[in-house]
Structure 1
């Protein structure tokens, strides 16, 4: 981020300088006092369990010389410039929006019930082959993280790819005004967070918030095979609608594909172009992810070779479809999060990659925030695993329903938590096994990997 002066901060946030010199300036913004760098503006956020104002002195010691506050009756380091605002969160958003508007570059926003992070990483990997591209890192896809991503924009960037998460109505709306995307992508509408949103229609409406700021020149780029998203094409909109998919008439379409241990081979049609692409990760769900990246690559005038190099350069984010070997054991660590669609997709990958291994083991845990849909969804996942796994380890309270749905199609173990799952695996794992690890983040199933290392020796 290019520097912003105290005067500019005061103007943008409508703040009041409580102490310090107007001649000072900042070169970045941080909300974590432990990650402060010199010349960072510290923004203390008041959360459910922590009040960032308690760490202002620590931020100063770590290098911050300027901070915001919405609490006047505090003692501040004497050498620190302090700006009072009515809401530190609102002020941070205003500053992020200001930084976004400094740079007139194309911005792509991405959301969806499944695959949004993989799609974001794929799109960024492709576009980076031709353009200096900023992308959302880690889980900075919420009301607090999106502004921090926008602060990383500089004059060197030519494109930005911003991921937008959602777990309640209105969440995307809170940030979309800052992002102001030129293209908004929705990967699909599933059952994630249905406990809070109650129906898939409500999830659909919440995802559509990503389209709110699109102008007549803006593009909604949506999954045309999705039963909900295909409706957007028939709705009266002020923006353009483009679709991707496998069935029907789409802007970018997979005419055919094969999924094997070697990954994907996809024949893609975009406008008057037709090309064959490869991707090292198998699964039908990855066809959709690739279509977004390929379509946007073509849209931004990239060559077939550049797009393919981007697909080859893709690296999954932590605990998402991380495929590796421990001794003679293959591990598919997809433990970052889970919903029914993602569970089925991961089981498909296990089924495909498992053909060259002695036994296919699925370690599947609770899918959280499913509400009244939870029991049926877990039973269905268990049933789907019948043809994909030789051994099932069900983890957690709802994991028992996965076991029940599996109906003893193979060996079944039911355990209470991740550590118990690890202990179970350590006892049964053998060379030439392939293991899938999948559950909601709250189950902490990635801890199973250490037990696999011990059992695989």
Structure 2
């Protein structure tokens, strides 16, 4: 069972939940449903498993296994109804569209909370930090549920809604998209009371085609029934977004608060006469927090409540997380867009540091035709930076390596497509007192380097007093 899910509070059985899924129950049992799953590996006793068909796997092939794990019920395509009767012993629901049934269940579940105020957060980057900060503030006002981790797609959003409890007053949910039409489907599920758009970049450009389309699709979060919308003042295509929105949007930016940059300690923020510290490294994360403050103030939180909720606020792991030991590591490896990569490189480059600063970069994925230009742009920025060495990993980064060599920085650059070679080279050239920045798209798993790099550096001599 997922600890964040609370669907068990309503004591659903397969027969009682069928209408909420817009599905037909062809075999019922008395088993109560305790959680909802789309990954067979996460199923356990009491699970309701939606057998979705994806690009690479078909959930129907796992229904026997989930039944043997004690699942309460499975939702399968209508054409496989008879096969399902032979393959599993649990309750069976059939649907012409399994994903649509998952969406229907989520809508039905949300309708059980008429007192709920929901906030939808979208944007090319910064969604998770903004969501977490809003949830901290809303938590001062009443019981609050939020997207666990980054379950923010048309698959993840429905699962996130099951985090709501009977007493929940606020629900803060990420709404991420990577293809046209996805925001329409998510708005049809959630229809947030408030919507916030952090920024428009070139993330997922490969599927979405252009920044204009990205802006158009993400702006759909500002649906006709929206109570209020919020957008970063620095957001690209702002006029287009505001024209498309159903109402006037509240703009926000980092200058809305007084903030003292404390380097790797984060920011000392003063808002409404209240001062508090957030442990978020970089100007981009400060702006995400200011977006959250703007929403919190709209919800009625006082400056004192906002300060109390955000004192010591730390973003989720991989969002400029600071690891301190014999070396210092800034782990910004959760994801990488051109804008976020530029932002953190510029910030760390300008950071005062007694030892050497080094950067380990993996590829920025799903950039389509803009990939080579984006990786060259990163190289141009590195060439003007204060990093002593750059370690570049992955085939897309070859363009950046070539550009750096053309700019005369060949002796400061290592490029490889072999992760073990990357690890060995970084470890070999690390010294106590170094500052490392790790940045890459999520699929790279760059955080794998942290334990071995930390351990190796501890055995190295101290070069900097």
Length-normalised TM-score, structure 1: 0.89
Query: 2:237 corresponds to which residue?
Result: 228
Query: 1:264 corresponds to which residue?
Result: 267
After TM superposition, list the pairs within 5 Å mapping 1:225-304 onto structure 2.
225-233=234-242, 235=243, 237-246=245-254, 253-254=256-257, 258=261, 260-268=263-271, 273=272, 275-304=274-303
1:444 matched to 2:445? The reply is yes
Query: 1:357 corresponds to which residue?
Result: 354
Gapped regions of structure 2 (runs ≥ 5): 1-6, 459-465
Query: 1:43 corresponds to which residue?
Result: 50
Question: What is the CA–CA distance in structure 1 between the aligned matches of 2:337 and 2:97, rounded to whole Å?
Answer: 35
Residues 441 and 246 of structure 1: CA distance in aligned 2, closer, same or farther (over 3 Å) = closer
Shift of 1:41: 1.6
Residues 128 and 453 of structure 1: CA distance in aligned 2, closer, same or farther (over 3 Å) = same
Question: What is the CA–CA distance in structure 2 between the aligned matches of 1:7 and 1:245, rounded to whole Å?
Answer: 50
Q: 2:381 aligns with which of 377, 380, 384?
A: 384
Residue 140 of structure 2 aligns to a residue in which SS? coil
Query: 1:425 corresponds to which residue?
Result: 426
Gapped regions of structure 1 (runs ≥ 5): 248-252
1:206 matched to 2:214? The reply is no
Shift of 1:31: 1.8
Q: 2:189 aligns with which of 178, 192, 197?
A: 178
Shift of 1:5: 4.1
Shift of 1:404: 4.1
Shift of 1:331: 0.6
Residues 345 and 95 of structure 1: CA distance in aligned 2, closer, same or farther (over 3 Å) = same
Shift of 1:43: 1.6
Query: 1:416 corresponds to which residue?
Result: 417
Question: What is the CA–CA distance in structure 2 between the aligned matches of 1:236 and 1:82, rounded to whole Å?
Answer: 43
1:108 matched to 2:119? The reply is yes
Q: 2:95 aligns with which of 77, 85, 92?
A: 85
Residue 363 of structure 1 aligns to a residue in which SS? strand
Query: 2:364 corresponds to which residue?
Result: 367
Residue 26 of structure 1 aligns to a residue in which SS? coil
Report if aligned partners of 1:167, 1:196 keep a CA contact under 8 Å in 2. Answer: yes
Question: What is the CA–CA distance in structure 1 between the aligned matches of 2:67 and 2:386, rounded to whole Å?
Answer: 55
Length-normalised TM-score, structure 2: 0.88
Higher strand share: 1
Post-superposition Cα deviations, 1:33-71, rounded to whole Å, max 9, x if no partner, equal 332243332221122222222222222232222222211
After TM superposition, list the pairs within 5 Å mapping 1:91-130 onto structure 2.
91-104=101-114, 105-130=116-141
Residues 351 and 236 of structure 1: CA distance in aligned 2, closer, same or farther (over 3 Å) = closer
After TM superposition, list the pairs within 5 Å mapping 1:43-82 onto structure 2.
43-70=50-77, 71-74=80-83, 75-76=85-86, 79-82=89-92
Shift of 1:135: 1.1
Report if aligned partners of 1:363, 1:394 keep a CA contact under 8 Å in 2. Answer: yes
Shift of 1:109: 0.6
Report if aligned partners of 1:3, 1:28 keep a CA contact under 8 Å in 2. Answer: no
Shift of 1:240: 4.3
Post-superposition Cα deviations, 1:92-118, rounded to whole Å, max 9, x if no partner, equal 110111001111211101111111111
Residue 341 of structure 2 aligns to a residue in which SS? helix
Question: What is the CA–CA distance in structure 1 between the aligned matches of 2:88 and 2:437, rounded to whole Å?
Answer: 55
Question: What is the CA–CA distance in structure 2 between the aligned matches of 1:333 and 1:229, rounded to whole Å?
Answer: 30
Shift of 1:338: 0.7
Shift of 1:245: 1.5
Residue 288 of structure 2 aligns to a residue in which SS? helix
1:146 matched to 2:174? The reply is no
Residues 28 and 451 of structure 1: CA distance in aligned 2, closer, same or farther (over 3 Å) = closer
Aligned-CA RMSD value? 2.4
Post-superposition Cα deviations, 1:227-248, rounded to whole Å, max 9, x if no partner, equal 3125444x2753342111157x
Post-superposition Cα deviations, 1:152-190, rounded to whole Å, max 9, x if no partner, equal 212121211111111111112121111110011100001
Residues 274 and 315 of structure 1: CA distance in aligned 2, closer, same or farther (over 3 Å) = closer
